[in-house]
Amino acid sequence: MSLQGRDIQIIGAGIAGLTAAIALAQRGARVAVLERAPELTEVGAGLQLSPNAVRVLDALGLGLALDAASLPSHAVRLRDRSGADVVRMNLGSGHPDGRFRLIHRARLIALLADAARVAGVDIKLAQDVVDFPQPSLLIGADGLRSRVRTALNGREVPFFTGQTAWRAVIADDGGVPEAQVFMGPGRHLVSYPLPAGLRNIVAVIERHDWQEEGWKHADDPANLRAAFAGFGGPVPDWLARVHETNVWGLFRHEVARVWQDGQKVVIGDAAHSTLPFMAQGACMAIEDAWILTACLDADMDQGRALQRFESLRKPRCSRIVQAANDNARNYHLTGPKRLVGHTVLRLAGRVAPGKLLSRFDWIYGYDPIRETVS
Ligand SMILES: Cc1cc2nc3c(=O)[nH]c(=O)nc-3n(C[C@H](O)[C@H](O)[C@H](O)COP(=O)(O)OP(=O)(O)OC[C@H]3O[C@@H](n4cnc5c(N)ncnc54)[C@H](O)[C@@H]3O)c2cc1C
């Protein structure tokens, strides 16, 4: 009951901010979300959502809307750059109660914004928040270049990982709803279908001459095709159909040292921006939103509730961020290491396919709804 009638401001109407707004408003808080953009548009791109995040969306009453807006993901299929299968991890049998979904970011944002408005949240657009008035609580869900994070931690310098990613969405007639990862030396390409006849492509290469962070940088699709010219299977056909692409230098940001000061708190990318190699950035943001709400609702003492939130989230998010850092290496193996790595995976896939996925039970099996918050 601690949230009833409390005034809360959230900066940023991304996945973290909107999910937190819904959760807080559903428990009786009066929530305003301040968003810099003049409208809620999104760079065209897909997202994989795993059960740890979907459990939260279900608990917020968004399960049916999510199902209508997304596809189920049946497997993660690792393939060599030639297209030969290395291993297929079946998501259905590995997690009978788990829902893995594939969704377009714009659809997820629209779904969350609608639910937030229904819950009574006031979303104010075209608000570039520069300094922070002190309401009873300010939540910084302001993403990668968070000003709230800087206010709590001072200025920090991320470092370039030497990797660059292209993102594209193409028209496609569907195909099996699974995420496919094509692994080559120093590069990999991830692709999965999206609803409405679309397909998402993320292609990563090791390259040191591009160091801009952010999705606004358009690139010539010919550069993407040239970088993946040696790839087989369906990749050449997909890349031939890319008409627009954006490129992004991948930077490693440390997990924030300080998450809160008793009045301000950071969530989502603002607290723990991650490399995309575990597909968990948005999922962690959604988990944060639920746990923060639960902590605040369980304890009238805001300072103590925020400390509890930080102590619950920091270890888990740090571990996921580290797993994503490690995965980059695994996908890009070269020479003998690559041969050995792929052979081990093939064998493991034959002998104990369930084991490959159960390594990640600590991520996907986590249920934020059951977390002990007080
Ligand atoms: C290549 C790639 C693939 C990915 N794939 C996946 C995936 O499959 N699954 C997954 O879970 N995650 C994935 N992610 C990560 C995911 O996209 C992010 O972690 C997630 O979007 C973070 O959400 P957020 O709300 O914290 O931040 P954002 O989405 O960045 O939202 C922040 C919002 O704050 C606003 N804002 C910023 N500053 C201000 C200000 N001063 N005043 C007002 N408003 C402000 C911004 O305009 C923005 O709307 C991927 C990321 C990349 C790069």
Residue 30 lies in a domain: yes
* pLDDT value of position 94: 47
**69 Cβ inside 6 Å of ligand 1:** no
Residue 356 lies in a domain: yes
Domain count, the chain: 1
- List, as one string, the DSSP characters of 183-220: EETTEEEEEEEETTTEEEEEEEEE-SS----STT-EE-
Ligand 1 closest atom vs CA 37: 47
Ligand 1 closest atom vs CA 129: 42
Distance CA 50, CA 264 (A): 28
Which protein residue's CA is at the shortest distance from atom 52 of ligand 1? 276
Specify the amino acid at residue 69: A
**172 Cβ inside 6 Å of ligand 1:** no
Residue 323 lies in a domain: yes
**177 Cβ inside 6 Å of ligand 1:** no
| Residues in the chain with pLDDT values less than 70 | 1, 43-44, 92-98, 135, 174, 210-212, 215-216, 332-336, 338, 342, 345, 348-356
Polymer length in residues for the chain? 374
Mutating to test ligand 1, I would choose from 142, 245, 331 the residue with most ligand atoms within 8 A of its C-beta, which is: 142
* pLDDT value of position 352: 67
Ligand 1 closest atom vs CA 48: 8
Residue 51 lies in a domain: yes
Domain that holds residue 328: 7-157+253-368
* pLDDT value of position 331: 73
Distance CA 342, CA 183 (A): 10
Residue 332 lies in a domain: yes
Ligand 1 closest atom vs CA 130: 41
CATH code of the domain in which 14 resides: 3.50.50.60
* pLDDT value of position 207: 83
* pLDDT value of position 167: 94
Nearest residue to 125 (alpha-carbon basis) of 15, 8, 41: 41
Distance CA 137, CA 262 (A): 8
Residue 56 lies in a domain: yes
Distances (CA, A) of 82 to 171, 172, 184, 229: 23, 21, 9, 11
Q: What is the pLDDT of residues 245-265, one digit of tens each?
A: 999 888 888 999 999 999 999
* pLDDT value of position 348: 67
Half-sphere exposure of 75 (CA within 13 A, CB side): 16
Which protein residue's CA is at the shortest distance from atom 35 of ligand 1? 12
Residue 199 lies in a domain: no
Could you tell me the distance, in angstroms and rounded to a whole number, from the CA of residue 355 to the centre of ligand 1? 31
Distance CA 283, CA 333 (A): 27
Distance CA 357, CA 94 (A): 7
Half-sphere exposure of 61 (CA within 13 A, CB side): 10
Residue 242 lies in a domain: no
Nearest residue to 148 (alpha-carbon basis) of 20, 271, 303: 271
Could you tell me the distance, in angstroms and rounded to a whole number, from the CA of residue 33 to the centre of ligand 1? 15
* pLDDT value of position 176: 87
**142 Cβ inside 6 Å of ligand 1:** yes
